[in-house]
Homo-oligomer: A and B are copies of this chain.
Amino acid sequence: MISKKYKDMLSNKSIIRQFSEFAIARGAQIGYENVFDYSLGNPSVSPPQKFTDTMIDLLKNKNSVELHGYSQSLGIPAVREKIANYLNQRFGMNYTKEHIFMSTGAAGAIAHALRCVTAPGDEVLIFAPFFAEYWSYVNLSGAIMKVVPANVEDFQVNFEAFEEMLTEKVTAVLINTPNNPSGAVYTSKTLKRMADIMTAKSEEYGHDIFLISDEPYREIVFAGTEAPYVSKFYSNSICCYSFSKSLSIPGERLGYVAVNPECTDAEYIADMCGQVSRGIGHNCPPSIIQLAVAECLDITSDLSVYETNRNILYKELTSLGFECVKPGGTFYIFPKAPEKDAVAFCEKAKKYDLVLVPSDDFGVPGYFRMACCIDTEKAVRSLEAFRKFVQDENYFR
């Protein structure tokens, strides 16, 4: 019989998607180059040439049966080993390949990690503002998502609310740093305090509370910002990574779970991910992508455009009067809307061909998100549209 649960979900269309569809439709009318489409977080730069060259080399020179054969369900052992070594060297960790599970992007990594360290009905804490898909990641795993209200001062953690909500029912905490949508990067101070609270509560309740750290923006961190490695701060932690943004290959879906060697049952969790995969059907991410990425662990695409765009937009928006926490990383900016209803504000912006996403789905009403992964030339052209918008609507008068 048709599943009521999934059929009902069809009517909850993502607001990001709705604004993105407007941008595409408007582009068909006036030329997409004239639409200032800040809706989707799709990398706008090429993958490194080495990635492409490695792919071609594998296709031309490696035995094709071996190249395209099944990888082991945890991933290709040599690839897992390279990732462990890379993380050890960079962050001073002690991973071995037994702590690494290859996944289809960070979404796949989170799907596995959540199932390994929660049981249906457990509560999972996340922090506003959050990536809108967290709702489905958590709730469809059988756990229950609870949202810690935002600290709108700097988009670090609202510790008062966090401590209050970290009840005995919570078995996992899911964080995202650098953060989509705020661009905030958790400081050492934030991570240390978070770890102290979680350690104390674990002891008080007599059970483990896992920290799942979603880190697809790890490589997009701007000058002057410190981006500490989360797993250094807390033993019961699992890092979920994706190469989508660092190598600009979001469509190829490759990421990994890295299990802190110091966590409870560290020797089992990657193996358990393999068991989770048997139920959710995505054993073994694509072999050729695993092999190509393994040659590119220490490089990234040229990510400088994101910082350039952040600088241009942050400067202009704040000088126009927008309140905005300066992003330390990612390709997002998250200013406060100049009227209470961010949806109404973003609807008005459409008249100026500015496609901005209201923050309601991110768990903090009254803000808007701009995905600044567009050509700088276009970002510069959009400034005039912002100026006209602000003037026409008499904002900040």
Do A140 and B64 touch across chains, with their CB atoms under 8 A apart? no
Write out the residue numbers on chain B whose beta carbons fall within 8 Å of the beta carbon of A287. 251-252
Do A275 and B137 touch across chains, with their CB atoms under 8 A apart? no
- Tallying the copies of this chain within the complex gives 2
Write out the residue numbers on chain B whose beta carbons fall within 8 Å of the beta carbon of A152. none
Contact of A111 among B56, B116, B279 (CB under 8 A): B279
Within 8 A of B (CB), among A272-300: 272, 275-276, 278-289
Decide yes or no whether A65 CB sits under 8 A from chain B.
Answer: yes
Do B68 and A59 touch across chains, with their CB atoms under 8 A apart? no
Write out the residue numbers on chain B whose beta carbons fall within 8 Å of the beta carbon of A315. none
| Contact of A65 with B248 at beta-carbon distance under 8 Å, contacts A6-B276, A117-B2 already known | yes
State how many angstroms separate the Cβ of A266 from the closest Cβ of chain B.
10
Write out the residue numbers on chain B whose beta carbons fall within 8 Å of the beta carbon of A281. 103-105, 107-112, 137, 280, 282
A residues with CB within 8 A of B? 1-7, 9-10, 42-47, 52, 55-56, 59-60, 64-65, 67-71, 103-105, 107-112, 115-119, 122, 133, 136-137, 139-141, 171, 207-210, 248-253, 264-265, 268-269, 271-272, 275-276, 278-289
Q: List 20 interface pairs A-B (beta carbons < 8 Å), by A numbering.
A: A1-B122, A3-B119, A9-B278, A42-B70, A43-B65, A46-B64, A46-B65, A55-B55, A55-B59, A59-B59, A68-B252, A69-B250, A104-B104, A104-B282, A107-B283, A110-B281, A140-B276, A140-B279, A253-B284, A253-B285
